[in-house]
Amino acid sequence: MSADGWTQHEADAWIGLLETHKQLTRALDAQLDADHGLGLSTLELLGRLAAAGDAWPRLSALAAQTGLSLSRVSRHVDALERRGLVQRRRCETDSRAVEAHLTAQGAAVARAAEAAHADAVRERFLTQLSEDEVVTLARVFRRFAPRAAEACAAVPEGQEADVPGGMAADRPNPS
């Protein structure tokens, strides 16, 4: 162990994780913006709304699931609503709460963006690993975030629509 308290393997693992995350999220965010007018946080919200199917999740629940603040989720949903990708309404049982739901256009955008994002993750990250390494990473991260992938399932069938083009100018403000 070094004077700073890390073994070389620990330092390589931890700093490598942080640097890899930083580089990948910057590149993937830029690509999503250029191709679909979305950021990673917005794509996660669309994915969670898609996974909700016919349900109308509360914005507060989406904030808790994503780790974003309620005000940030609300700003993202505002921008998505202006683009016609989501609808929002007051909760019937609690007028203080707001719920959101994907439109057919939002489901189509979510499907297209999620497919492109998966391809980009494969290209920029997964192809750098062997199948055994991918399995090992999945096992390790499942310990820290069990069932995380299940929360962002694909857009349910039956919510299909044509994907509109030229959306980059309408990108929601990520802050």
Task: Note the pLDDT tens digit of each residue in 104-128.
Answer: 999 999 999 999 999 999 999 999 9
The total number of structural domains that make up the chain: 1
Apex CA 157: angle with CA 105 and CA 159, to 5°? 25
Write down the residue that tokens 């808790």 correspond to. Answer: 64
- How crowded is residue 54: how many other Cβ atoms within 10 Å of its Cβ? 9
Tell me the residue type at 22.
K
Q: Give the model's pLDDT for residue 43.
A: 96
CATH number of the domain to which 48 belongs: 1.10.10.10
Q: Give the model's pLDDT for residue 105.
A: 97
Q: Residue 112 is part of which domain span?
A: 26-158
Query: Does 80 fall in a domain?
Result: yes
Element housing 90 (H / E) = strand 86-90
Query: Does 34 fall in a domain?
Result: yes
Query: Does 4 fall in a domain?
Result: no
- Which residues does the chain have with pLDDT short of 50? 154-175
